[in-house]
């Protein structure tokens, strides 16, 4: 079962410590449970409504793909946790430290699953809708990233 640990650092750490694969599945379940709690906290901070927070947590807890991926050695559970964690600091505070922590967590998201680069563009567009220069810079960045892929290959 340890054959294909992929990019997931938690599996590499568990394997290096000599833990059995069941420990990785247990860790995945704990991360998934933490993600559900954080989604509830995030929904409560955005809406101020405890019922909405409970509904958001319930929907996350009953999401079939999340349940299935928590029982497999994949990066989806860690990615979901990091993504929710990246949304939490700006929801709790608007200071530079909150946005810096959010950026660092987004960077970890990108390391875990590179598809998060697309989410970064959408997130910045939502967070800073009035900045037209940012839009041009992001287009240039993504064009450069797309061309860099061919330069490396």
pLDDT at site 1: 45
Mean pLDDT of 53-64: 88
Out of 20-29, 58-67, 85-94, 122-131, which region has the weakest mean confidence (pLDDT)? Answer: 122-131
Please report the DSSP string for 108-150 in residue order.
HHHHH-TTHHHHHHHHHHHH-TT-HHHHHHHHHHHHHHHHHHH
Number of residues written out for the chain: 153
Read off the tokens for 29: 């379940």
pLDDT of residue 125: 60
Listing DSSP states for 20-78 in one string gives -HHHHHHHHHHHHHHHHHHHHHHHHHHH--HHHHHHHHHHHHT-HHHHHHHTSSSSHHH
């Amino acid at each position: 079962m340890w054959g294909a640990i992929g990019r997931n650092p938690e599996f590499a750490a568990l394997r290096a410590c000599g833990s059995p694969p069941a420990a990785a599945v247990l860790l995945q379940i704990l991360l998934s449970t933490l993600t559900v709690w954080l989604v509830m906290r995030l929904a409560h901070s955005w809406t101020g409504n405890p019922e909405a927070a409970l509904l958001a947590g319930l929907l996350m807890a009953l999401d079939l793909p999340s349940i299935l991926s928590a029982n497999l050695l994949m990066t989806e559970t860690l990615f979901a946790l990091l993504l929710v964690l990246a949304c939490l600091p700006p929801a709790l505070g608007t200071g530079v430290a909150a946005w810096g922590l959010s950026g660092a967590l987004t960077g970890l998201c990108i390391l875990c699953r590179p598809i998060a680069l697309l989410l970064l563009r959408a997130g910045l567009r939502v967070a800073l809708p009035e900045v037209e220069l940012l839009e041009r810079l992001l287009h240039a960045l993504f064009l450069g990233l797309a061309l860099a892929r061919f330069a490396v290959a």
